[in-house]
Structure 1
């Protein structure tokens, strides 16, 4: 019988963070689908409505946390899947660097969009 292997160390912070972010994402995704797919249908979503929602501190904070959490959860999952497939050494470090850089760019751009939707000027 094949032995099960996982790069996640159950005592490590990344293992714990993967589980916590999964739980958070389930709750926030349920909120998102309820609000933007059942309460308001896709054809009812407008820029003015988005700006109004994003101007509420609680909604804005939730969406930014959603962005950061989903980014971490996805990138951490991809990284560990690659490690489980045998990635190691210099390739592992290079992939980690690329994933971290992509994550930072994604989060920065996502926060810029959230701020723009909040009515703030985000031009440099």
Structure 2
């Protein structure tokens, strides 16, 4: 029988964060869909409406956490999938560096846009 292999060490920090972010994303994604497809239909979403929602501190914080959790969860999942496929040595370090830089850039850009949408900058 094939041996199960995972780059996640059960009980490790990355393993735990992957599960926590998954649970958080399920809840916040449901909230996001409800908010933007049932309360405000997609065709009715406007810049001013988005700005009004982002001015609410609770909504703003949830959306920033959504950005951070989604970025971590996705990038960590991709990285570990590559490791599970046999990525190792120098290529593994290069991929980790590129994904880390891309993640930081995405989060910084996303927070900058969120601050602009909230009227904070």
Q: What is the TM-score of this pair, normalised by structure 1? A: 0.96
Q: Distance in 2 between matches of 1:11 and 1:32?
A: 30
Deviation at 1:87, TM superposition (A): 0.3
Deviation at 1:120, TM superposition (A): 2.9
Q: Which runs of 5 or more structure 2 residues have no equivalent in the other structure?
A: none
1:108 aligns with 2:96: no
Q: When the two structures are aligned, how many residues end up with a matched partner?
A: 121
Q: Distance in 2 between matches of 1:11 and 1:26?
A: 21
- Counterparts in 2 of 1:73-112, with a 5 A limit? 73-112=73-112
Deviations along 1:69-115, one digit per CA (max 9) or x if unpaired, are 00000000000000000000111100000000000000000001101
Higher relative contact order (CA 8 A, sep 6+): 2
User: What is the root-mean-square deviation in Å for CA atoms of aligned residues?
Assistant: 0.7
Q: What is the TM-score of this pair, normalised by structure 2? A: 0.98
Aligned equivalent of 2:26: 26
Q: What SS does the corresponding residue of 1:105 show, helix, strand or coil?
A: helix
Runs of 4+ aligned residues of structure 1 deviating over 2 Å after TM superposition are: none
Deviations along 1:10-67, one digit per CA (max 9) or x if unpaired, are 0210000000000000000000000101111111101110000000000000000000
